[in-house]
Amino acid sequence: MTTSPLRLMAVHAHPDDESSKGAATTARYAAQGVEVLVVSCTGGERGSILNPRFGREVTDIDEMREIRTGEMAGAAAALGVQHRWLGFVDSGLPEGDPLPPLPEGCFAAMPLEEAATPLVELVRSFRPHVITTYDPSGGYPHPDHIMCHRVSKEAFDTAGDAERYRGHGEPWTPLKLYYNHDFSMRRIRTMHEALLAAGHESPFGDWVESRAAREITEREVTTRIECADYFSARDAALRSHATQIDPEGFFFATPRELEVSVWPVEEYELAESRVQTSTPEDDLFAGIVSTDGDRS
């Protein structure tokens, strides 16, 4: 039996990832009284201005960090969650053939134990029962997303081991580890077909028809969280990231009433569990019982 309230930690690579991956889930649990902590590994300093309506370019890394810090505060407020920074520097997305080296001192170039230490400390202080993050591919091959997976897995595996990361807090053993699946090709194809059937243009056509999409390996979905009532909170969080999210762009191209009728859930893969549970699940806390008895 666990202490109450239940606690959920969602670990992400950059500010804005928490709003595009599992956002309605975190908003739902926070509204239900679960303590929810979103963790951003980096400050998103090397992100580009992706919203053409932002109005200006930002080329200074310190200025971008400051802007994205403010955006993240707005997103956390919209979702009703707590937030912490790990304090690492965005690695950027290297492009070219051959790929250029990662910037010196960036998150993805850090030794694993050094990069995982602040997350282990945070796990030990916040004491989450459940951690969510990305699968080993990172969801897509951004070096920070892949490193986010690695440090999350390391923290899940070691935070309860008194012999590891000595001097970085009292051991705490999380009970379940999940991977986000918000950008699965199954979801994208389903939404694409629903939009066309309803007579709408689809923003997913290039994804569905691309060779890269056909080569994406579909991972197992074990857990589907009903969260349509919190899509509005997710959308408000997305809009908070004004450097990254076009309010008239991709994320808002699907009519919400259609999305609710076709795909009212967010999906996860149960990667590891230290409690007995059975799949499919409809609750990230399945198998975990609080002292109030509100989960089983």
- pLDDT digit string, tens, across residues 172-195: 999 999 999 998 889 999 999 999
Cβ(254)–Cβ(187) under 8 Å?
no
Is the pLDDT confidence value at 296 over 50? Answer: no
Mean pLDDT computed over every residue of the chain: 93
Residue 1 lies in a domain: no
Do 93 and 224 belong together in one domain? Answer: yes
266 and 239, same domain (yes or no) = yes
Q: Is residue 47 part of a domain?
A: yes
Give residue-wise pLDDT tens across range 25-47: 999 999 999 999 999 999 999 99
From the list 161, 164, 147, 180, the residue with the least C-alpha distance to 284 is: 180
Q: Is the same domain home to 42 and 23? A: yes
Domain with 155, as residue range(s), is 7-183+220-273
Angle between helices 61-79 and 23-31 (to 10 degrees): 50
35 and 120 inside one domain: yes
Give the separation between CA 263 and CA 278, rounded to whole angstroms: 23
236 and 202 share a domain? no
Q: Long-range contacts of range 98-107, CB-CB < 8 Å, 24 or more positions apart?
A: 102/143, 103/46, 106/46, 106/143, 107/13, 107/41, 107/42, 107/143, 107/144, 107/147
Q: Does pLDDT of 65 surpass 60?
A: yes
Q: Is the pLDDT of residue 293 over 50?
A: no
Query: Does residue 290 fall inside a structural domain?
Result: no
Q: Which residues contact 95 (CB under 8 A, 6 or more apart)?
A: none
Q: Within a 10 A sphere around the Cβ of 252, how many other Cβ atoms?
A: 15
CB 258 within 8 A of CB 268: no
**14 annotated as belonging to a binding site for a ligand:** yes
Residues 154 and 197 in one domain: no
- Residues 169, 194: one domain? no
On whether 200 is known to bind a ligand per the annotation, the reply is: no
* Structural tokens at position 62: 């310190």
Structural domain includes residue 296: no
Q: Are residues 107 and 166 located together in one domain of the fold?
A: yes
- Whether residue 281 is contained in a domain is answered as no
Indicate if 190 and 149 belong to the same structural domain. Answer: no
pLDDT value of residue 212: 60
Task: Check the annotation: does 145 bind a ligand.
Answer: yes
What's the token pair of residue 188? 């994208």
Residues 125 and 200 in one domain: no
DSSP annotation string for 106-175: -GGGS-HHHHHHHHHHHHHHH--SEEEE--TT-SS--HHHHHHHHHHHHHHHHTT-TTSSTTS-S-----
Answer yes or no: is 35 within a domain: yes
For residue 113, the tally of other CB atoms under 10 A from its CB is: 13
Reading the block at residue 66, the tokens are 């400051």
Residue 288, in any domain of the structure: no
Write the DSSP symbol of residue 33. T
For residue 86, being part of any structural domain is answered with yes
* Judgement on whether residues 94 and 190 belong to the same structural domain of the protein: no
Query: Using an 8 Å Cβ cutoff, are 75 and 18 in contact?
Result: yes
110-150 residue pLDDT tens: 999 999 999 999 999 999 999 999 999 998 889 999 999 99
Max mean pLDDT among 28-37, 210-219, 247-256 falls in 28-37
pTM of the model: 0.95
Statement to judge: residues 145 and 268 lie in one domain = yes
Number of separate domains in the chain: 2
Give the closest residue to 234 by CA, choosing from 7, 6, 4, 10.
10
